Structure 1
Amino acid sequence: MKKSILDGIKCAVFDMDGTILDSMTMWHTIADKYLMSIGKTPREDLWDNVKRLNMVETAEYFISDYGVEKTVEEIGIEVEKLIMKFYAESLQLKEGAEDFLRELNERKIPCVLATATERSCVLACMKRLDCEKYFSHIITCLDLNTSKSQPLIFEESARRCGAKPEESLVFEDALHAIRTAKKAGFKVCAVYDASNEELTEPPLTDWERILKLCDVNCKNLTELL
Structure 2
Amino acid sequence: MKISGVIFDMDGTLLDSTEMWQGAAGRYIMSLRKTPASDLGAKTKAMTLDQLCSYLKSEYAIATTEEKIAKGFNTILREDYLASVDIKEYVPIILERFKQKGIAMCIATSTDKNIAGEILARLGIRDYFSHIVTCEEAGSGKEDPDVFIRAQQVLGTPKEETVVFEDGVLAVRGAKEAGFYVIAVADESEKENKEEIKKLADRYIESFEELM
TM bucket (normalised to shorter chain) is: 0.7 to 0.9
TM-score, length-normalised on structure 1?
A: 0.80
Q: Which residue of 2 aligns with 1:127?
A: 121
Q: 1:16 aligns with which of 1, 10, 14?
A: 10
Q: 1:214 aligns with which of 186, 193, 201?
A: 201
Q: Which residue of 1 aligns with 2:134?
A: 140
TM-score, length-normalised on structure 2?
A: 0.84
Deviation (angstroms), 1:49: 6.1
Instruction: State the aligned residue count.
Output: 207
Which consecutive unaligned segments of at least 5 residues does structure 1 have?
1-6, 198-204
Tell me the C-alpha RMSD between the 2 structures.
2.4
Deviation (angstroms), 1:176: 1.6
Deviation (angstroms), 1:219: 1.2
Q: Is the 8 A contact 2:138 2:150 kept in 1?
A: no
Q: 1:59 aligns with which of 57, 60, 81?
A: 57
Q: Is the 8 A contact 1:56 1:72 kept in 2?
A: no
Deviation (angstroms), 1:137: 2.1
Deviation (angstroms), 1:72: 4.8
Of structures 1 and 2, the larger Rg is shown by 1
Q: Which residue of 2 aligns with 1:109?
A: 103
Q: 2:64 aligns with which of 60, 71, 91?
A: 71
Q: Is the 8 A contact 2:108 2:133 kept in 1?
A: yes
Q: Is the 8 A contact 1:141 1:153 kept in 2?
A: yes
Deviation (angstroms), 1:46: 4.8
Which consecutive unaligned segments of at least 5 residues does structure 2 have?
none
Q: Percent identity?
A: 35
Q: Show CA shifts across 1:59-82 (max 9, x none).
A: 33233xxxx7x5354444322210
Q: Is the 8 A contact 2:22 2:44 kept in 1?
A: no
Q: Is the 8 A contact 2:146 2:178 kept in 1?
A: no
**Greater CA deviation, 21-30 or 155-164?**
155-164
Distance 1:8 1:18, change over 3 A: same
